[in-house]
Structure 1
């Protein structure tokens, strides 16, 4: 007699992100003391505005020259001229839903069709209740190249501000709202 097993239920990402997925220098895309480095700080909130206290943010970015030390860079992989630059960071949220990443501003990126993307970071958000990571971009307010960025131009003009980091005392502030009014724009990747 054969037995049939049922379908395994879907699992959400989290809430155990703090076990094995964070490390002490995770938020440091560049080492402390790196010339031009600053903090990108923000809060993650749910649709009601409540802090999401058990989430994690991962960042991926080009160096200040707009280059990646990765084979998928269409110009070829090249180590960054910034000592200690790794292009990747990871920060869990605290009891107020705050995260922080120590970064340098990325340079503009060429696209495969000859366009140029404005300086930006890609952020992935993981947390309890999410079946998949959420992916967004962080652009920097005041960048002239934002007006012609091919990805930003595809976003409803009334929602583009959800992708803009605002200047702060020690860098930039970028809050992430998971649902509701002023929800951050997320991309299907």
Structure 2
């Protein structure tokens, strides 16, 4: 006997990610200490292979105002281009001292967020292509019903970027520039700036995944 009448089932109402997203996902930033191991914005240790970088930026709304309660997650390959996941079945050996995933919130005053990580290596794409070094990034905040997903590429990887299949799938070249982080140097460390705009004429390219 079938107890389910699917014609009577309705879609569950959606909610935005805020305004209490930090309490559930980054409680320490909200001055609530409940987890034995807190998620953090550093993906590296002293033994991690590769070039250490700082990735930072702010998220702007449609009025060009910084969003100060946004939560950011990143996912990336290690310096050898291997993801720290069983789903990556390549022969290449993953760096055991690299996390590959991080989570942080924007500073409540300035709206600035940042990660301490390494520049990833290239990873295979479809049909034998190679993808340029990049970092996958997801955004959660009030007013956003589902997470916004985008990518971070690097402005000093010009040749690799020119061949990247995902960047080349974006028709307008000017729109591709919204995915490029700009390199600077601060106290001897490479710092890449990546500002995100959720609306407006310079809106960042987001992906359906």
Query: Is TM (by shorter chain) over 0.5?
Result: yes
Determine the structure 2 residue equivalent to 1:93.
Answer: 106
Contact 2:80 2:92 in 1 (8 A): no
The number of residues matched between the two structures is 184
| 2:148 alignment partner, one of 134, 147, 150 | 134
1:112 Cα deviation after fit = 3.9
1:169 Cα deviation after fit = 2.5
Are 2:41 and 1:41 equivalent residues in the alignment? no
TM-score, length of structure 1 as denominator length: 0.88
1:19 Cα deviation after fit = 1.0
Determine the structure 1 residue equivalent to 2:14.
Answer: 10
Greater length-normalized contact order (CA 8 Å, ≥ 6 residues apart): 1
- After the TM superposition, which segments of 4 or more aligned residues of structure 1 sit over 6 Å from their partners? none
1:178 Cα deviation after fit = 0.6
Flag structure 2 segments of 5+ consecutive residues without an equivalent. Answer: 1-7, 29-37
SS of the residue aligned with 1:89?
strand
Larger Rg belongs to: 2
TM-score, length of structure 2 as denominator length: 0.80
- CA deviation digits over 1:64-110, x for unaligned, max 9? 10001212214168431xx6310001110112221001010000011
Higher helix proportion, which one?
A: 2
Q: 1:188 to 1:7 in 2, by over 3 A?
A: closer
Bigger mean CA offset, 130-139 vs 108-117: 108-117
**d(CA) in 1 for partners of 2:16 and 2:39?**
26
Q: 1:147 to 1:52 in 2, by over 3 A?
A: same
**d(CA) in 1 for partners of 2:86 and 2:46?**
27
Contact 1:38 1:103 in 2 (8 A): yes
Q: 1:32 to 1:181 in 2, by over 3 A?
A: farther
- CA deviation digits over 1:137-169, x for unaligned, max 9? 000002110001000001121111100000123
Contact 2:47 2:97 in 1 (8 A): no
Contact 2:156 2:183 in 1 (8 A): no
Determine the structure 2 residue equivalent to 1:110.
Answer: 124
**d(CA) in 1 for partners of 2:63 and 2:127?**
41
SS of the residue aligned with 1:113?
helix
Determine the structure 1 residue equivalent to 2:87.
Answer: 72
Flag structure 1 segments of 5+ consecutive residues without an equivalent. Answer: none
Are 2:204 and 1:184 equivalent residues in the alignment? yes
Determine the structure 2 residue equivalent to 1:157.
Answer: 173
